[in-house]
Amino acid sequence: MKNNPDLSVSVSGLQFRNPVITASGTFGYGIEFSPFFDLSLLGGICTKGISLEPRPGNNPGRIIETPSGMLNAIGLENVGVQSFIDDKLPGLDGYDTHIIANILGKSVDEFVEITERLNPCAKVSALEINISCPNVAQGGLQFSQDPEMAAQVTRAVKEISVKPVWVKLSPNVTDISSFARACEDAGADALTLVNTFVGMSIDVHRRRPMLSNVIGGLSGPAIRPLAVRLVYQASRAVAIPVVGIGGIVSARDALEFIIAGATAVQVGTANFIDPLASVKILEGLETYCREQGISNIRELVGSLELPGPDGFVYY
Amino acid sequence: MIYTTSGEILEHRQLAPETWVLKVRNAQIASQVKPGQFLMASIESKDETPSPILKRALAVYGTEREDLSLLIRIEGDGTRKLCQAAPGNNLNLVGPLGNGFDLERGVGRYSVIVAGGSGIASVYLLARELRRKGRDVCLVYGGRNALDLAGLEDFQALKIPVHTSTEDGSAGFHGMVTGALQQVLSGLDEAPLNIYTCGPNPMMREVSNIAKVNSIPCQLSVEIKMACGFGVCLGCAVKTTEGNRLACTQGPVFDASRFIWEDFAGNREERS
């Protein structure tokens, strides 16, 4: 193929130069990766979840590696929205990539206030509502467990936001489609799925939890098949774009999500394993398209070939 | 400058029943690493999903021109695979990382380095650099038994006084390294100007107490699990009097007087 494949995608009315976005909580405030590569190569950056006030996070004993994954209970440590605006965002000024601010709150009012504070920030392209952090008593988990509550916070943020609103859904639910539809009906411009799976690990010799928070969020390749299934189902339940995330460490993994129905993908835990992971995934996507004769990556979105009209229902 | 790089394993040598030293070629890190700094390492592999998936945080033990050495104690699958990685394999490396020891603070006549077990990996470059600066330094080094005292000859080659302790009495002082430290301190004419320490948390906690009681400034290098090593996973937070601090970018070396040990269990699985 002579020409470079077109990797650009459109999500929530924004044009992304490629579908590779780095995931919230795995990429700091972006600038931390500037020593490693040119951040403008990325489709976008989701920044560390920010709350109204700074949060110190949980006690030590925050992470533990598990088979093909890791559990974390960071506890939403972040600098707070004001420091994010004053100290962190300016560091990204020179980079031409979409910044998606991940926001979290204990109440609808808090989400609304953060949204108001971010409205004037030109550098922020979109908001990603984090309704699904499992690691603090009131991390917004209640919003992730009831489609009505998820819709309520989505509606409130959407009402006042001047930017597109994405909602990051929890996988720890029985029926993902009902959450996806509830958020779409409430005005969400895109859905990100999935956040981490709630998990736990025990030191059997001391009979103590490995994490100070006892439970944490599981990420990494271990959750990938679970996440692909959820993206597949959610993307068929809604018309808005789905951004797929869950254990992507290679271009092959990203393609699974795209073929399942994701318009873009987020790279998370892989950033810890290799600071250059997101760029390597991007290069891998380009190579795949070239080798497969695909001129436009959008052709691949939801291109899964099913054995029957509805696919297999039983497993 | 933090490098995302790789290095060939030139040599791996067993120093103690559970401790190995790997010699790795990487001129960038070897020429720039400072005492007390570390790197993140994994074995280069063609596997789509390597196991374990995360790199391991390892102190740079020594350097020699364009090579660096890593002294690794087997703690689990990741460190065992690293120890067993044969020469010819490559390591993926990110480093050098962390703040390292502050050699300029409390510059004075005498420094005492207190190491326990694999903590020895973090203090060889420190001892060598202090010697190079013409400063007096001694090592107090404890292990479970005589065989456990990996790297001892490297410190002896620096021609510094070395005081050992073993829990079973098979070498040096019979007891914990903190007992040996007390003995060393009581034998000195005047208080040393610095204590540097690295080892298991209960040991460093006790060393910090001894330093406090004797009004000796003490720097400790903390060992804690890290996913990234460069400040984004936020997994390696420790408590200090100034609030939570990241061991990777704001440590791993902390002023012992500011370190808060309460709640600091770490989360290494204890093996029987």
Identify whether B69 is part of a domain: yes
Kindly identify which residue of chain B lies nearest to residue A272, measuring between CA atoms.
B228
pLDDT in tens, B158-171: 999 999 999 999 99
N- to C-terminal Cα separation, chain A:
39
The rounded Cα A60 to chain-centroid distance in angstroms is 25
pLDDT above 90 for B105: no
Residue A45 lies in a domain: yes
Domain that holds residue B196: 110-258
Same domain, B175 and B234: yes
**Residue B67, in any domain of the structure:** yes
pLDDT value at residue B119: 96
pLDDT in tens, chain A (315 residues): 457 899 999 999 999 999 999 999 999 999 999 999 999 999 999 999 999 999 999 999 999 999 999 999 999 999 999 999 999 999 999 999 999 999 999 889 999 999 999 999 999 999 999 987 555 555 556 788 889 999 999 999 999 999 999 999 999 999 999 999 999 999 999 999 999 999 999 999 989 999 999 999 999 999 999 999 999 999 999 999 999 999 999 999 999 999 999 999 999 999 999 999 999 999 999 999 999 999 999 999 999 998 766 655 554
Token pair in block for residue A74:
């960071």
A110 contacts A51 by C-beta, under 8 angstroms? yes
Average confidence (pLDDT) over B117-145: 94
A224 to A42, A248, A249, A250, B163: CA distances (angstroms) = 22, 7, 10, 12, 52
A95 located within any domain: yes
Which domain, by its residues, includes A276? Answer: 9-59+74-198+218-300
Is residue A207 assigned to a domain? no
Locus of tokens 């004053």: A86
B103 found inside a domain: no
Backbone φ and ψ for B259, nearest 5 degrees, come out as -85, 135
Percent of chain B exceeding pLDDT 90 equals 84
For residue A65, how many other CB atoms are within 10 A of its CB?
21
Does some domain include residue A240?
yes
Number of structural domains chain B divides into: 2
Q: What is the CATH number of the domain that holds A279?
A: 3.20.20.70
Q: Reply yes or no: is the peptide bond before residue B87 cis, omega within 30 of 0.
A: no
Please report whether residue A66 resides in a domain.
no
Q: Which of B228, B191, B229 is nearest to B210 (CA)?
A: B191
* DSSP letter for each residue of B194-212: EEEEES-HHHHHHHHHHHH
pLDDT of residue A314: 52
| Cβ of residue B27 closer than 8 Å to a chain A Cβ | no
End-to-end CA distance of chain B, in Å?
Answer: 40
Q: Are residues B122 and B244 in the same domain?
A: yes
Three-state SS at A216 = strand
Helix axes A147-160, A176-185, angle to 10 degrees: 30
If asked whether residues B136 and B206 sit together in one domain, one would say yes
B87, part of any domain: yes
In this complex, is the C-beta atom of A12 within 8 Å of any C-beta atom belonging to chain B?
no
**Chain A residues with beta carbon closer than 8 angstroms to that of B225:** 63-65
Last residue of a domain, one of B67, B97, B127: B97
**How many CA within 13 A on the CB side of residue B73?**
18
Any B CB within 8 A of A59 CB: yes
Average pLDDT over residues B246-258: 96
Residue B143's CATH number:
3.40.50.80
Q: Do B172 and B57 share a structural domain?
A: no
Chain B CB within 8 Å of residue A46 CB: no
Of B97, B127, B157, the last residue of a domain is: B97
Could you give the CA distance from residue B239 to residue B250 in angstroms, rounded to a whole number? 12
Helix (H) or strand (E) holding A11: strand A9-11
* Listed residue (A44, A238, A45) closest to A154, CA to CA: A238
pTM over 0.90: yes
Nearest C-alpha in A relative to B228 = A272
B137 and B243: one domain? yes
Considering the domain architecture, whether residues B224 and B162 belong to the same structural domain is answered as yes
Does residue A3 sit within a domain? no
B231 to chain A: which residues are within 8 Å by CB?
A: 28, 32
Of the partner residues B53, B233, B265, the one whose CB lies closest to the CB of residue A68: B53
Q: Could A68 and B264 be called an inter-chain contact, meaning their C-beta atoms sit closer than 8 Å? A: no
Helix locations, B99-176, DSSP H? 124-132, 152-157
Query: Which of chain A's residues have a Cβ under 8 Å away from the Cβ of B42?
Result: 273
Can you give the pLDDT at residue A140?
Answer: 55
Contact flag A272-B233 (C-beta cutoff 8 Å):
yes
Domain boundary among B56, B76, B97: B97
Identify all chain A residues contacting B54, using CB atoms and an 8 Å cutoff. 65, 70, 272-273
Compute the radius of gyration of chain B from its Cα atoms: 18
Between B107 and A64, whose confidence is greater?
Answer: A64
**Residue A48 resides in a domain:** yes
In a domain, A306, yes or no: no
Placement of tokens 């760029």 in the chain: A279
Work out how many domains chain A is built from and give that number: 1
Residue B20 lies in a domain: yes
Same domain for B119 and B242, yes or no, is yes
> For residue B264, is it within any domain?
no
Based on the fold, state whether residues B52 and B185 are members of the same structural domain: no
CA distance A32 to chain B (A): 7
Looking at the fold, whether B10 and B119 belong to one and the same domain comes out as no
203-242 of A, contacting B, C-beta below 8 A: 203-206, 208, 210-212, 220-221
Question: What pLDDT, on the 0 to 100 scale, is given for residue B50?
Answer: 85
- Indicate whether this complex's ipTM tops 0.85: yes
CA distance A177 to chain B (A): 30
Residues B62 and B89 in one domain: yes
Instruction: Tell me, yes or no, whether B271 lies in a domain.
Output: no
* Sign, CA torsion A183/A185/A187/A190: positive
CATH of residue B14? 2.40.30.10
Clarify whether A183 is annotated catalytic. Answer: no
Q: Are residues B126 and B31 in the same domain?
A: no
Q: Is the residue at B104 inside a domain?
A: no
Please give the C-alpha separations between residue B19 and each of A81, B30, B84, B119, in angstroms, as whole numbers.
Answer: 46, 21, 10, 12
Band the pLDDT of B269: cuts 50, 70, 90.
very low
Contacts of B245 (CB under 8 A, 6+ apart): B237, B238, B239, B251, B254
